[in-house]
Amino acid sequence: MTKQVILAAHFPGVNNTTVWSDPASGSQIAFDSFERFARTAERGKFDFFFLAEGLRLREQRGRIHDLDVVGRPDALTVLAGLAAVTTRLGLTGTVNATFNEPYELARKLATLDHLSGGRAGWNIVTSSDAFTGENFRRGGYLDRADRYTRAAEVLQTARELWATWPAGEVVADPASGVFVRHGAPGAFVHKGQHIDIEGHFTVPRSPQGRPLIIQAGDSGPGRDFAARDADAIFSRHGTFEDAKAFYADVKGRMAGFGRRPDELKILPASTFVLGDTEEEARERAHHVRRQQVSPQTAILLLEQLWNKDLSDFDPEGPLPAFDPVLDDDSIIKGRARMFDDPVATAQQWRALSEEKGLGIRDLIIEVFGRQTFIGTPASVAETLNRYVQEDAADGFILVPHIVPGGLDEFVDQVVPLLQERGVLRADYTTTTLRGHLGLAHE
């Protein structure tokens, strides 16, 4: 059976995927940018819009990280605005389960689901770092080992709250004078390890029963969390073999939690560069990568592995001869360590640098290369479809390097080819986000 390709559009915010300095780039925070991006995704019949969130501006060497200076707006506020200018596109955002309370989260997400007619989704993430916690006067209160147990309980509690209003509870019948069927809906009591609340939930059952749940963790506990609780997982595995192995691993865990494989959609974060020919696409990709990794950014990213001030190093010169510093204190604050074994990674980078004759900047471009799919529209459409049909993914969360116009080329040139293959809808046939993904309402 031919599978449908799920497509989501990720408004990336500022990171080293985004080329904010390109003349075609617009604001990262103005509503016009979000609106244009979302309208383009809806024109392409995408399943949903995705907005990341950061709760504190990152710092490196005690300074605000250059790639964060334009700020990070509140995701749910932006999504509520987009509900008014879109009609079918799902609206999903990252909201942290560590620094938010389940009653407030459940209420806001249920409200968004009502405002959008059943198109809301929640990407649930965790944080254990004290640096971010300082913004909430909770710095370091949560042990790293507890972050998934709290997240699981926050999600469990939110689901309990959403379920307190049965389907069809609101009658609103003027003739009988009956407004609610049972008189006192919304009652809840939850007493657990991290959450101890009781009261009445204020928002009736939403159009799709509950918002879509997305998860982005890649560790063993994160994969289990997704297999047990998520409707979709935001994967970072982009190469075909890695993606296929991740797909098999996570789907294989689901039976242990009493779930079917088709109840979880695996969606790698993916970028693209198109050209009229394969050679033109490769040349454009090379240009984009050099835009993404400026000399200054190359040093910043190198420092994140070496955990040391390397500002005196030449971006075009060789890697440091000494090994990374393994202190517990990280040179960058507000972001998790990216490397499990810094010394081994440094050895791999040195070998690659020597093999290919790469200086620091070119090496960073090589190891942090962001373009997943490079080619003509036809070859990119063929590759995307292969991933889905051969169980390396259920679809993709596309991250363009330019906002708000970076999605236009894909929608105009690749989407029609996927529609011709019959693997992408020609028009929306459902009204809710869960319906778009073939998931049951709850």
Long-range contacts of 25-31 (CB under 8 A, 24+ apart): 25/402, 25/403, 26/403, 26/404, 26/405, 27/70, 28/70, 28/71, 28/403, 29/70, 29/71, 29/73, 31/78, 31/81
120 strand-pairing partners: 91
Q: In whole angstroms, what is the distance from residue 333 CA to residue 59 CA?
A: 5
pTM over 0.75: yes
Residue 440: closest CA among 268, 216, 259, 227: 259
The whole-number mean pLDDT for each consecutive block of 10 residues of the chain, a chain of 442 residues, reads 96 78 89 97 98 81 65 90 98 92 96 98 85 75 78 95 93 91 90 96 94 89 91 89 95 97 96 97 94 89 92 96 85 71 95 96 86 92 98 96 95 98 98 97 88
Which tens digits make up the pLDDT trace of 157-210? 999 999 999 988 998 999 999 899 887 899 999 999 999 999 999 999 999 999
Note whether 132 and 97 are within 8 A (CB).
Answer: no
